[in-house]
Amino acid sequence: MRDRLKESHPFSFSKDWPENPLVNSNMDKQGYPYKTPVNTNRTYNPTWIPMDTQENYNRLKKKGYYSSNKFAVESFKYELNKDGFRCDDFNTIDFSKKSIVYLGCSHTFGIGSPEEDIWCSMLHKLLQEHYNTEFNLINLGVPGGSIDDYLRFIPYFKKFNPYMIISGNPAVHRMIIPHSSGGNPHSSEPILGYYSVGCEITPGSKGFRELLKYSDEYFIYKYNMTLEVVKSITDEMNIEFYESNILTDTEVRMEKVLNQIKELKPSNTTNRDGGHFNRIVHEIVTSFYFKMITEREKKCLY
């Protein structure tokens, strides 16, 4: 047990950079095809990834989804770094310059959308113009990820040299549960499973379902505690930390969408995979964060 703890303890820095366990493992181990991207600072260039598959695309096309949704971009490829994140390979980035680190789940990663259409890319451009400074863009969005990921990212914050950290908080009820591959407790290949409401019922998800059954209190506690931990670390490092659940709280996000684009049908707020938001909603989210950041700046001045 001590040896395993020594190897797995996050502050041991056993690896140079964090891995995106979902995207990276699926591409390398499950045969998702990719080519070398045009951007030499990226490693992977897949057309399809988990949650945005060719099978799903064909199904939606057959139903006429794309002809009725003029805002969904059908043809694009993902450009990912060698650790599975949607930004440049970390060993190609000049970290003598300040960075802006973006945290979140598939909405931050940008499942189903071209990179230029996701909120963190648009916000990054606005912030560079606002500060008249070029920042490194570090997108640590994990498709299907949870607030638990933030704890494993903390040891790397200093290495990224962040000017600020911005979080599009994942859904409250998501969590990581280590379990054996295929639900076999005797498997020699333990993996990390991301569980959320509606996940498949398996032996590995039993503990998660018991928590869901009895109380929300644990999830709320874990959610708030994790954000407080990140906030305390960023305060110590003198880094501004901005966070919101606008992307995952249905009531909040839909109110924002409906108030600003009332003429849109609900189907026109989704992108290629039919389940995540398209550029129009990401623009609203971008404005939300930009306003949050600039208004806090004004308060600090007075």
Specify the CATH number for the domain of residue 128: 3.40.50
Q: How many domains does the chain have?
A: 1
CB distance 119 to 244 below 8 Å: no
Is 209 inside any structural domain?
no
Does 182 fall in a domain? no
Q: Is residue 190, in this structure, part of any structural domain at all?
A: no
Residue range(s) defining the domain that contains residue 70:
2-172+216-301
Domain for residue 194, yes or no?
no
Q: Are 237 and 288 in contact (CB under 8 A)?
A: no
What pTM was computed for the model?
0.88
Tell whether 192 is covered by a domain.
no
d(CA 107, CA 193): 19
The answer to the question of residue 201 being in a domain is: no
Give a yes or no: residue 43 inside a domain.
yes
Q: Per the domain annotation, does 193 fall within a domain?
A: no
Q: What is the pLDDT along the chain (302 residues), one digit of tens a residue?
A: 556 655 665 555 557 899 887 777 666 655 556 667 788 899 989 889 888 999 999 999 999 999 988 889 999 999 999 999 999 999 999 999 999 999 999 999 999 999 999 999 999 999 999 999 999 999 999 998 999 999 989 999 999 999 999 999 998 988 887 666 544 444 455 566 788 776 777 776 778 888 888 888 899 999 999 999 999 999 999 999 999 988 776 555 556 555 555 555 555 788 999 989 899 889 989 999 999 999 998 877 66
Return d(Cα 149, Cα 227) in angstroms, integer: 11
